[in-house]
Amino acid sequence: MLKLSTSFTRFSINPIRVSFRYFETKGLTSTSQRPPLPLVTSRDLPYRPKYVESRQAWLCNMDTIEEEKLGLLDLHPSIWAVMPRFDIIFKNYNWQKSLHFVDYKVEYTRAEMKGGGRKPWPQKGTGRARHGSIRSPIFIKGGKAHGKRGPKTDFYMLSNSTRVDGLINTLTCKFAQDDVVIVDSLEIPTDDSNYIEQLIQQRKWGNSVLFINDSDIMPRNITLAVDKMEPIVLMPYYGLNVYSMLKFDTLVLTLESLNKIENRLLFHLHRSNINQKFNRIKFNQTVPLNSD
């Protein structure tokens, strides 16, 4: 909860800065303990296009079942307002599906088949073709020549630009379909699963919801509440992917995770080696950790 000390307060989230302007909220009941709500009037977005307007979204709460508008956010148009490329989304979807597929099927050769040790009939005198074993690949129950030799995977690596464009296009499609919700935090007042069910039903978030947090350490109450709920998943911001966004009906982002996702995508969009190809990693090669 933001504490109000003055009528105007400004704080910065590096490198995206957010400006708040507070206003008195009308219609507050005497039992309500919420202070005047902040109205987010602007965000200093880096690399903003000159001729494209930024998109806007409401900042909502999670501490009550009834939805309350806490402010209005400006979203970066290079991430939330691009022309959708469904071919790029399809490439990312197929790439992620191939990551988990391993073909374990093994087809035996003629040397691995049982039987067939003796010659089926004499070399000459029968009028038939000459054969040395009934396990030859030309027989019906024989071995396989050049058959499957599992385990085998169809893994391949997409380029950096294709993966970044896949995330951006999927976020744009989810936002255009009104399936993106931005909340101040994932803190809820209770660890009861009925609270999450009522909240999702009240706000019409669909049958499955993906919560994105700015850290992999989730709040205690929401972790216990969704522990046995399969359609509800908690994920840190660095695990956001195309497959999960397509799988779940609604994408719920915290404000901090929104800033980190935009910062990381903008960095990759404007890096000089975005089209650099991947090389095979050697076993004795040190891989740097990308922490933030």
**What's the pLDDT score for residue 271?**
86
* Residue 256, burial from CB neighbour count under 10 angstroms (0-12, 13-18, 19+): middle
Q: Are 182 and 60 in contact (CB under 8 A)?
A: yes
Give the span between the Cα atoms of 269 and 285, in whole angstroms.
27
Query: Among all chains, which residue has been given the structure tokens 């040397």?
Result: 111
**What's the pLDDT score for residue 273?**
77
**What's the pLDDT score for residue 33?**
55
What the block records as the tokens of 83 is: 């022309």
Q: Are 249 and 207 in contact (CB under 8 A)?
A: yes
Please state whether the predicted TM-score (pTM) of the whole model is above 0.85: no
List the chain residues with pLDDT less than 70: 1-42, 276-292
